[in-house]
Structure 1
Amino acid sequence: MKWSSKYFINGLIIIVPIAITAVVIINIFSFTESLLGRYLPIHFPGLAFVVVLILIVIVGWLSSHWLLKKVIGYGERLLGSIPIVKFIYNSVKQLSTAVFESQKLLKNAVLVPYPHPGVKALGFVMPELSAPLAEKFDEEHVCVFVPMSLNLTSGFNIILPRRDIIPLDVTSESALQYVITAGAIMPRGNDSNN
């Protein structure tokens, strides 16, 4: 029975992100197809895919030029003046930036003294502290995300001295499984194949 629950969790870890990504992408392409079908005289299968890819590349290219940077900055300030929209937009932007720019998000598993000294919790080292936070400490501190068991979407960000962190030589997948299964599946070392 232990092996079947392990495979079930492994399957969930693989299928859930793929399913969510697929639903988002399919909805984007369906929306684009319906718009193009309504306003363009030509239509062929895959047109939405081509248009979305071209649009992403064009926006990325234009965003590196000073004029569009000013326009984007103005748009962000405008969104920032609307209370609820500001919260949603900033949260989504920061999360997407962290996911797309940081290759180490939830990769570097460590043990930290949490919730009090004498006990240890598994956490993940986050990107380095920003200057306004780092300058408040006399020694090097790091931010560690300590996820709640069974739910990776909630947890605690704690800032502690680097000397209090115990690095773990485990695979990131097995560290995530440990959290998701509330400790039923123990983390495996990087050199382990099972």
Structure 2
Amino acid sequence: MKWISKNFIRGLIVVVPIAITILVVLQIFNLAEKLLGRHLPIHFPGLPLIAVFLLIVLVGWLSSYWALKRLLELGDRLLGAIPIVKFIYNSVKQLSTAMLESQQLFKQAVLVPYPHPGVKALGFIMPELSEPLVEKVGTDNVCVFVPMSLNLTSGFNIIVPKRDIILLDITSESALQYILTAGAVMPRRPEN
């Protein structure tokens, strides 16, 4: 019974983010298709995709204006007040902010000995260690994020001695493709 419950929880951890992402994307496209189908005389495949893309660009552009910024802040506060929604929303917001705004995140792909010596895992060097960590592990260590295949939102932050890191001469995009495809697309060197 313990084995079943443990693996059920593990399965939920893998399936729930994927299912929620698929559900949200499908709902957005269905809503766009219903709205466009009602108001436009033409219909062609891909129209909802174009409409959603243009809507996202429009919201991004409008978010730079004062009134919409205040409205978005109000929405942030409202979502931050609902107990379960607060946790999900803040986690997703922090992750997307880190991934989309950081110039250093996922910049340098490396190989590190993980999960044990003799085995190598592809990871990414993260920003410098904070002072409390440096005090405990020393300055000759770096933090490396080792993402899980098929799911970049989960993985392991490991602190590795610099001498154990192998820098890779590959593009970060191809390293991410390698991880997201579980090794089906191999990393490649940057094109000069």
For the superposition of Structure 1 and Structure 2, which TM-score range results when normalised by the shorter chain? Answer: 0.5 to 0.7
For 1:26 and 1:140, the matched residues in 2 are separated by: 47
Cα separation, 1, equivalents of 2:110 and 2:50: 42
Q: Which residue of structure 2 aligns with residue 180 of structure 1?
A: 182
Distance change >3 Å, CA 142–CA 83, structure 1 → 2: farther
- Aligned counterpart, 1:11: none
Q: Pick the aligned partner of 2:131 from 135, 153, 174.
A: 135
Identical pairs, percent: 52
Contact 1:134 1:140 in 2 (8 A): no
Mark the CA change 1:127 to 1:44 in structure 2 (over 3 Å): closer, same or farther: farther
**Aligned AA (2:34):** S
| TM-score normalized by the length of structure 1 | 0.56
1:78 aligned residue = 78
1: CA distance, partners of 2:171 / 2:54 = 36
Consecutive unaligned residues of structure 1, counting only runs of 5 or more, are: 1-20
8 Å CA contact retained: 1:111, 1:120: no
Pair 164,66 (structure 1): closer, same or farther in 2 beyond 3 Å = farther
User: What is the rounded CA distance, in whole Å, between the counterparts of 1:151 and 1:58 in structure 2?
Assistant: 30
TM-score, structure 2 as length reference: 0.57
* Counterpart amino acid of residue 32 in structure 1: A
Q: Residue 45 of structure 1 aligns to which amino acid in structure 2? A: H
Distance 1:37 1:188 in 2: 42
Note the C-alpha offset of 1:141.
5.5
Aligned to 1:45: 43
CA shift, 1:52, in A, is 3.4
The amino acid that maps onto 1:135 is: E
**1:63 deviation in Å?**
1.0
2:123 matched residue in structure 1: 124
What is the match of residue 156 of structure 1? 156
RMSD (Å) for aligned C-alpha atoms: 4.4
Separation in structure 1 between the aligned mates of residue 54 and residue 77 of structure 2, nearest angstrom: 27
What is the one-letter code of the residue matched to 2:146? V
Question: Unaligned 5+ residue runs, structure 2?
Answer: 1-20
